[in-house]
Amino acid sequence: MTVHGGDVEPVPPEDAHGRGGEDGARPYEMVVVGSVNADLVVRVDRRPAPGETVIGSDLVTHPGGKGANQAVAAARLGARVALLGRIGSDGHGEFLHKALAGDGVGLGHLVETPGPSGVALITVGADGDNSIIVSPGVNARLSEDDVAAAAGLLASARVVSLQLESPLAAVLAAARTAARVVFNLSPPAVVPDELLALCDPLVVNEHEAAFLLGGRGAPGSQARALLALGPRSVVLTLGAGGAVVAEPGGVIEVPSPRVEAVDTTGAGDAFTGALAWRLAGGDDLATATAFAVRVGAASVRRPGAQSSYPYPEDLEAL
């Protein structure tokens, strides 16, 4: 299944997956290291209590995974982006590979692995909010050796985007190789100080911030406290409330456009993928965050994760 290369900007379909990257004329401006999952989604009027059964909608399968989501979000906006990860040798793996290739993501380091692909079990409530259980599958086998094999790809990228649906050892190895690290602490977990020190920025939502800090507080205060933990910069996302940017020079609040939320699945990944791409293009952090907030807002207007991600023309009204 592995496709090599992938010079990703708007290009003719016959050229979308076969050129560029570390083996072509230009390096990828952005590389995502992370998970690739099949999202199994059911909509419900309300979530069941323990021991209770509720009736939901028909089951729908979408391509997902935090790594794949971020790569697709960036690719749809025009990024040249590659993905380092693993997919299974099952039917989900074939489905996921085809979806990524269709969006022009560079797949030369997407490794097909015997075993089940990652799966996310997602319930979406009437308010558009979601609850997710992830079965990692072969995502759990991404290794430091995989990172070493992609060292040239990672080192040549302007930004490497990381999350925690892959093993921490592989994430840390990728961060050590990268010129600039965008790290989303999701799902939240204890990470070494070395990894935090490499983040520029650390991206967290309110739940992840509370995990790191041991409690909640005003967003500006939380962002400052997160910066004191060692990252070079911080972006605290607030859903419909926008985001807060913290750098050594100060804290900036970034508002979000008002939209009607249909499904928030993958909105944080859309935000992070857009943020990483704009940073790779040379934007300062506040400017990149303002753009990413618009992308995240656009993504909640349609169901699914990758299926909801906007193209540039979808942002014009926001």
Active site residues: 269
Contact 266, 62 (CB under 8 A): no
Q: 238 labelled as ligand-binding?
A: yes
Q: 287 labelled as ligand-binding?
A: no
Percentages helix, strand, coil for the chain (3-state, rounded to 5) are 35, 25, 40
Q: 88 labelled as ligand-binding?
A: no
Contact 25, 11 (CB under 8 A): no
Q: 104 labelled as ligand-binding?
A: no
Length of the chain: 318
Contacts of residue 205, Cβ cutoff 8 Å, sequence gap at least 6 = 186, 236, 237, 238, 239, 268
Q: 37 labelled as ligand-binding?
A: yes
Q: 139 labelled as ligand-binding?
A: no
Report the C-alpha gap between 174 and 94 in whole angstroms. 26
Q: 268 labelled as ligand-binding?
A: yes
Q: 82 labelled as ligand-binding?
A: no
250-254 and 243-247: which strand pairing?
antiparallel
Q: 130 labelled as ligand-binding?
A: no
Q: 65 labelled as ligand-binding?
A: yes
Contacts of residue 235, Cβ cutoff 8 Å, sequence gap at least 6 = 201, 202, 203, 204, 243, 244, 245, 246, 275, 285, 289
Binding-site entries for substrate: 37-39, 65-69, 165, 269
Binding-site entries for ATP: 205, 237-242, 268-269
